[in-house]
Amino acid sequence: MLDVVTILLDPFLLIGLFLGSLYFYLTATFDFWECRGVPFKKPTVLVGNFGPLLLFRKSQPEGVKDMYQWFENERFFGAFRVRSPVLILRDPDLVKSVCIKDFSYFLNRGIPINNDQDPLSGHLFNLEGRKWKGLRSKLTPAFSSGKLKQMFYLLVECCEELRRLIGEASRNGDQTVEVRELAAKFIIDVIGSCAFGIQINALTDDKSEFHRAAKKLSRPSYKATLWRMLRTAMPKLYKLLGVQIVDPSVTKFFTSVVSQMINQRENNGMIRHDFMDLLIELKNKGTLENGTDNSAIFSDEDKQAAKEIELDENIIAAQAFVFFAAGYETSSNTIAFCLYELALNQEIQDKTRREVCDVIQAQGGKLTYDAVQEMKYLDMVISETLRKYPPAPMLSRKCEYNYQIPNSNVELPAGMRVIIPIYGLHHDPNYYPDPARFNPERFTKENKRTRHPYTYLPFGEGPRNCIGMRFALLQIKMGIISFLRDHRIKICDKSTVPIKFSRRSLVTTNEAGFWLTITPSSYN
């Protein structure tokens, strides 16, 4: 009996037992794909197959591209995020099945929410099931082309301020500018004006509260970034620890701003035709007047779910927050990447500038909503930018029920995560020959018809695609137009060629910024 007690109290033995148990726990799932006959990459203890990303040794785009190329002749393959098995798709037809055909199996993203700690996390991107259906159905009319047209004048105001600053910067000849920073300030002004109804002047005021909040969102701590990557692999631990991803000061700021704006609008009856107006209208009336007919998009069940959703200040704050958080960094980076590629490809820049100037001149020198829609080559240029630099390198869905993969003997269990490697698809030479080359002609109507549509996914696809896609594209176009109307963009000594992706960021961006030279130039 004494020997047994001695053995149990032996610290080395206890440590050994603990480490052995931990090792067994971490590796117990590692035979998952082998048992199902699915090709997979051998995982590493503690990190699975995502070590380079979790340890910040590779950027998200580089890591996703590497994984995509592991099994070039397979439609899908298995991997492990820490100890959780995940399925990675390579076949565009399977992407279509997940996003469209069998969407009912993959309705949710499976992102855990700590509402008490992160009250702003209950937004459309994260919500699941009936709550998501109801809120999506309610909000969709707010992003119609008609609603965007009504608030277009707000974007024009922001554009004029951006043009003025660009003009001042280049008044004395060539001027080297970090265009992402300038684009980010422009996007802050646009979103602040269109989503919150506030004239922020971030372009001229670096100390604005919105500017400080944006900085905290775009440069989270390593701990917050790591938890963003780990929370879907370790949801129980995430909830148990009550992790708060959004900085508390940012949460306090956004909830306070939204509360103030709602009270001000309701008390003063002010109408701006911005998103805050629409959210308040949804709060008070439950639906939007002159909204688009959703009958072809949403089922009777979805519409019933919408009736059950009542927008209060917290829900409105969460939607306004994600509008800011999702649109700020992705749109400003897209503008910067586009200007960078135009600086490298002067012939493409000439063609783009000529179209911009000709269309505006045909409108009597006035930039209108219809004029922006006429700029078809600019649309191709932005499409190619989003192809080469998709804001999200990958997206994932959670399988809600047992699912038989089409044309295979593999059945996925409920709870399985499926990853769509957007960056890999966008750089697959089978779909985009010479994928490293910037070529807007890939997006002519004829070329798009010859390519599988599910090889291009900058905004996701299906019912769960980006609800703000139209607005995002509009503000991106407006930003680029502001740079190109009166100026030429060139590469300079401080430009990073080639691009070096940030290893810390979860969105696609350059590590060292986007330094370019701006020169006054006119086609008039």
Annotated binding site for heme: 466
- Give me the phi and psi of 519, to 5 degrees please: -125, 130
Q: In what order do the strands lie in the sheet with 515-520?
A: 175-178, 515-520, 487-491
Burial of 53 (0-12, 13-18, 19+ CB in 10 A): buried
Burial of 341 (0-12, 13-18, 19+ CB in 10 A): buried
Dist CA 491 CA 170 (whole Å): 15
**What does the block give as tokens for 105?**
């199996």
Dist CA 425 CA 134 (whole Å): 32
**What does the block give as tokens for 222?**
């390593």
Dist CA 216 CA 197 (whole Å): 21
Q: In what order do the strands lie in the sheet with 76-81?
A: 76-81, 84-89, 417-420, 395-398
- Give the CA count within 13 Å in the CB-facing half-sphere of 472: 24
Helix (H) or strand (E) holding 287: none
Dist CA 346 CA 483 (whole Å): 14
Dist CA 165 CA 167 (whole Å): 5
3-state SS, one letter per residue, for 82-122: CCEEEEEECCHHHHHHHHHHCHHHCCECCCCCCCCCCHHHC
**What does the block give as tokens for 135?**
């809120």
Residue 269 contacts by C-beta under 8 Å, 6 or more apart in sequence? none
Q: How many Å separate Cα 469 from the centre of its chain?
A: 10
- Tokens 């099931």 appear where? 129
Give the residue from 501, 463, 105, 87 showing the smallest Cα distance to 299.
Answer: 463
Dist CA 113 CA 325 (whole Å): 16
Burial of 291 (0-12, 13-18, 19+ CB in 10 A): middle
The answer to whether 302 and 137 have CB atoms below 8 angstroms apart is yes
From the annotation, which residues make up the binding site? Answer: 466
